[in-house]
Amino acid sequence: MADSSQQSITIPAPVDTIAAVISDFASYPEWVDAVKSVEIVSEYEDGYAHRATFVLDAGPVKDEYTLEYAYAEDLTRIEWTLVESTVMKVQDGSYDLVDNGDGTTEVTYTLTVDINLPMLGMFKRKAEKMIMDTALKDLKKRVESCV
């Protein structure tokens, strides 16, 4: 059964800058260590990715998976759901971006993952926490390097 986890971080940049980094999937291999390649499979009319296929190599977990994306009109929410995977049964997630009114943005990352590998609950929760910590810290570093 898939569990949902959530973490937040404050990034010193506006919503549109952060949304641009999040939605630039082709550049993920430059700043997300476990992502080896990304192929945009289809796009919406506005040019944002509709579906993207990722090749992941995270040590013991190697996978090729396709996610389908949806975006709030103002880009304050970017969400995805798993379409196809060799290892995962579920991967649903979202970034929610809230303008703090002081030039910073609160980014909340929500992730639900279930994989087809035997893993003790304790190790699964530790892996989820590591994925979320890394994702938010790497996102913050990437955004700060773009500002």
Quick: pLDDT tens for 57-116: 877 778 899 999 999 999 999 999 999 998 888 999 999 999 999 999 999 999 988 777
Query: Which tokens hold the place of 2?
Result: 């898939």
What order do you get walking across the sheet with 35-43 strand by strand? Answer: 3-11, 105-115, 88-99, 77-85, 61-71, 49-58, 35-43
- What is the pairing mode between strands 105-115 and 77-85? unpaired
Which pTM was predicted? 0.88
8-66: per-residue pLDDT in tens?
A: 999 999 999 999 999 999 999 999 988 999 999 999 999 999 999 999 887 777 889 99
> What was the pLDDT predicted at 40?
98
> What was the pLDDT predicted at 41?
97
Residues 6+ apart with CB under 8 A from 119: 127
Residue 25 DSSP one-character state:
G
Indicate whether 2 pLDDT > 80. no
In the block, tokens 């989820």 appear at: 128
Nearest CA among 137, 127, 136 for reference residue 94: 136
> What was the pLDDT predicted at 55?
94
Q: How far is it, in rounded angstroms, from Cα 31 to Cα 83?
A: 24
Indicate whether 128 pLDDT > 80. no
